[in-house]
Amino acid sequence: MQEYSSSVASSLPQLPKAPTGIEGLDEITEGGLPKGRPTLICGSAGCGKTLMGIEFLVRGIQDYNEPGVLMAFEETGDELAANVASLGFDLKDLQARKMLRVDHVHVDRSEIEETGEYDLEGLFIRLGHAIDSIGAKRVVLDTIEALFSGFPNQAVLRSEIRRLFRWLKDKGVTTVITAERGDGTLTRQGLEEYVSDCVILLDNRVIDQITTRRLRIVKYRGSTHGTNEYPYLISEDGIAVLPVTSLRLDHEVSDEVDSSGVPALDEMFGRRGFYHGSSVLITGTAGTAKTTLGAAFAQEVCKQGKRCLMFVFEESPQQLIRNMRSVGIDLQPLIEQGLLRIEASRPTVNGLERHLVTIHRLVREFKPSAVVIDPISNLISVGNINEVRSMLTRLIDYLKVNNITALFTALINTRYNQSEMTEEGVSSLVDTWISVRDLEGIGERNRGLSILKSRGMAHSNQVREFVVTERGVELLDVVVGPTGIVTGASRLTQQLQQHAQALAAQQETDRRDRELERRRRVLEANIANLRTEFESVEEELRQINTEEQNRQQTLSSGNERIAAANPPRYNAPSAGENNK
């Protein structure tokens, strides 16, 4: 159904749009401002209305080769050029190249004599000449209140406003008109927002002593658009609007796996690490080695020849390097090789949006393979839970779209035994959640680690005790006692007991082996004695047989001699016997 709706929407005619070139604004307007139509930008003082209009012109010239006209009613051309020079916008150069026309119109109500019908015909002629002289495609009028200050008659004022907007439409130029916000209305006159095809509202608010600028598209005729409030910043690169990126969740994924930097921890994952481009959250109480685990991951990424960007909110880079060196993690060589970059600042130095823009800028400049932020829970000091969650959602989406592995650490609130940025925060957004916590025993505290979730791969369900040594983080083997897994001194006691039991069992086995050997020797001795006795009897019987044979032979030989000495005698037959 969704694919069908998308195909139908893509086949329908789309409203022509003029890209602004302003980061994020084209995304939430789905392509830019209505081409050939007027757009109203309204807001209170300090919102950046003039700057947004000028950047619209400059980006149009630089990126889309569309000349523009800037007609200002409050500041001169030199003043405007000086104001935006720090952003890299050279208005004088653009004017010299005939790509930009800046015209300052001074309107002083005291100099206006209202004789009959006063109108803007002279302005139309002046603006039309400026447009035609350079073939302008874009026009900015800043600000409309100064233009209409000479109209005391409200009926004439409304008529002239409508005529101005109609004239701009007929001229076919994409126009941005800035206006001051009124009391209870979007503009001072309360009419401009009704005759404009697109209305963008800028707001500059202060919450808990922190300034936040927000943008909202009030209306956009003929086009869908983002309807939420979006934070935006004015930085050295101009205006940056921060919409939620990748709302459709259609970014590419990778089957590549990144090591955690702790071999035993990798063994707890079915794929021996995290998926590259995924997001990892490490939560725990203070002192549970969250920063150490983050530094170990950063070191492992750099060892693979990839770049890693670290943001730390609690330590300076020098302090972090010193502390990590004490546990066998030397970050200094990685920094010197250009593989690791550490950015450290207090969260309260900037608002949430400024932090987000800073991360975006450094990611674009450094092009890291992984980003570590330690800890995200400190951001609570510059915003509430919802604001921090929104900021982190945008950050996670941005890093996923760019296929960058993100590792966050968060501090657990020990009072409520829950993390300020897990259940209420980003635990449901991340792909892997690792919990490190204290395992309190009798008179001691130990550290334990467990994997609460890891999307897309099997993982261990054990709670593993670990220690931080001179060689880094080491996970200890699981020891099971009578009541379950034991740690610390109980673990050592259990190991000693197991060792003693193993030793006793070995000693018993050795004793049995010795007893068996003794019995074997006794049996062999008995067997030898019996064999000797048997041989004696056998020898005696053999002697008797020999003697009997000799006796028989002797007897037989004597009989033969006797028979030979006494041959048999034969008598002569008698006469009577012969006659028969």
Residues designated as active site? 74, 314
3-state secondary structure of 371: strand
Contact status, residue 343 vs residue 314, Cβ threshold 8 Å: no
In 3D space, the residue among 191, 204, 242, 231 whose CA is nearest the CA of residue 43 turns out to be 204
Identify which of 470, 469, 476, 410 has the alpha carbon closest to the alpha carbon of residue 439: 476
Distances (CA, A) of 101 to 22, 72, 86, 213, 497: 20, 11, 20, 29, 89
Whether 377 contacts 419, CB under 8 Å: yes
Based on the number of CB atoms within 10 Å of its own CB, is 553 exposed (0-12), middle (13-18) or buried (19 or more)? Answer: exposed
Distance CA 66, CA 579 (A): 178
Let me know: does 296 contact 472? Beta carbons within 8 Å.
yes
Q: What is the DSSP string of 554-575?
A: HHHHHHHHHHHHSPPP-PPPPH
Contacts of 47 (CB under 8 A, 6+ apart): 202, 203, 204, 213
Strands 238-241 vs 257-258: parallel, antiparallel or unpaired = unpaired
Beta bridge partners of 1: none
Strand-strand pairing, 480-481 and 484-485: antiparallel
DSSP secondary structure of 80-96: HHHHHGGGT--HHHHHH
Question: How many whole angstroms separate alpha carbon 27 and alpha carbon 162?
Answer: 30
Residue count of the chain, please give it: 580
